[in-house]
Structure 1
Amino acid sequence: MKITKHEHAYLDIEIRDQHLLIDPGIYTVDFGVQKNVAAISLSHIHDDHSYLPHLEKILQQNPEAKLFGPREVVEKLSGLEVQPVYHGDSFSVGPFTLEFFGDLHQEIHRSIPIVQNVGVLVNDALYYPGDSYTQPEYQVELLAMPASGPWLRISDVIDYVSAVKAKRVFPTHNALLNNNGHALQNARIKEVTESNGGEFRYLDIGESWQL
């Protein structure tokens, strides 16, 4: 399994020349359309995670790709065929097994409605929680950990990484950070990851981690 980090929360997982795309959003500026896309997993309705123009471009090149997302994503993308997913659902598409966890986005502020959100576990190895602190129900090999956002506090990130205890961790959801912000957030995530005996890597845009 090869995991490539793109801008913000957009991840490309490759197995045997097939691709699973996670959360291609509006902050992905240099957007190149991948071929051989088997599936696209969308955590929630915010445009930085499910951006219709990007999805339309992907589907033009990959009309057989399967889309997955919570019910609100199905409604948002009403012109596309999206499989609704709920906590505990599991699907197999090509070489990928997707298991979904959770149901709500982390609170941004009490005045802002909370939207649906699902985390996804890929092939029992990579876990990405979307905009939430929902924990997977199993030990995971690799955690894609959100590092920035209006809903995120670094104290909660430290507690979450410590609770999940993934063997490997890299930061994602970080387009809003400048170099100083990356250094600050990454240092805390790295510290707690290594205190649990895990390995931390910062992946720049376009860099990959091979499992």
Structure 2
Amino acid sequence: MRLTKLEHAAFVVEEDGRKLVVDPGSFTTPQVDLHDVVAVVVTHEHPDHWTPDQLGHLLATNPGATIYGPAGVAEAAEGFDVHVVADGDTVEAGPFTLAFHGSRHAVIHESIPVIDNVGVLVNGRLFYPGDAFTVPPVPVETLAAPVGAPWLKIGEAMDYVTAVAPTRLFPVHEQTLSAAGLGMHADRLRASVEALGGTAVVLAAHESLEV
């Protein structure tokens, strides 16, 4: 599988010429000309992870693509046909086996409601938790590790990497950080995964990785 990181939390996975898009939100370049998409996964309803325009562009180019997300996304994405998935569900989408883990967004503040959030394991190798600290019940080869967010401090991000113990990670959810902050936080994640014998790769937008 070939993974191409986009800005913030969004990325594209390609296998056998077909594509999976994950969390195309408001901090990500509009996906106006992306072809061969069989599925879109939206982990939760916050706009930095999906927008009506992003889904509209993707479906205009790929009318057969299926959108997957938790119940909160289905409710928020009015006018879109969202296939509701929850913790423990597994679906097949073209060459992709999507196993979903987790159910709730991490706590931002006690005054802010906790919403639905579901992480996705792609073909048993790549796991992305969305905005959560979900540890899937299987080994993880490659982890898309959140590195900066209103709900996240760096010690928690490091503890999460240790709990998952991936073979490799790449940071995501970086648009809330300055360039200097991203470098500092990514170094902390790198130290955490290297202590476990793993590796870290920092991908700029539109850089790719074989997973």
The worse-fitting range, judged by mean Cα deviation, of 70-79 and 6-15 is 70-79
Structure 1 residue 20 and structure 2 residue 8: aligned? no
Distance (Å, rounded) in 2 between the aligned partners of 1:31 and 1:13: 14
1:5-16 matched pairs, under 5 angstroms:
5-16=5-16
Structure 1 residue 114 and structure 2 residue 114: aligned? yes
1:185-204 matched pairs, under 5 angstroms:
185-204=185-204
Report the equivalent of 1:45: 45
Report the equivalent of 1:98: 98
Query: What letter corresponds to residue 145 of structure 2 in structure 1?
Result: M
Distance (Å, rounded) in 1 between the aligned partners of 2:107 and 2:142: 25
Root-mean-square deviation (CA), in Å? 0.9
Report the equivalent of 1:67: 67
5+ long unaligned stretches in structure 2: none
Distance (Å, rounded) in 2 between the aligned partners of 1:11 and 1:32: 14
How far did residue 190 of structure 1 move? Answer: 0.3
Report the equivalent of 1:36: 36
Distance (Å, rounded) in 1 between the aligned partners of 2:24 and 2:139: 26
5+ long unaligned stretches in structure 1: none
TM-score, length basis structure 2: 0.98
Three-state SS of the structure 2 residue aligned to 1:144 is strand
Aligned length: 211
Q: Percent identity?
A: 41
How far did residue 183 of structure 1 move? Answer: 1.1
TM-score, length basis structure 1: 0.98
Structure 1 stretches of 4+ with a deviation exceeding 4 A read: none
Query: What letter corresponds to residue 180 of structure 1 in structure 2?
Result: A
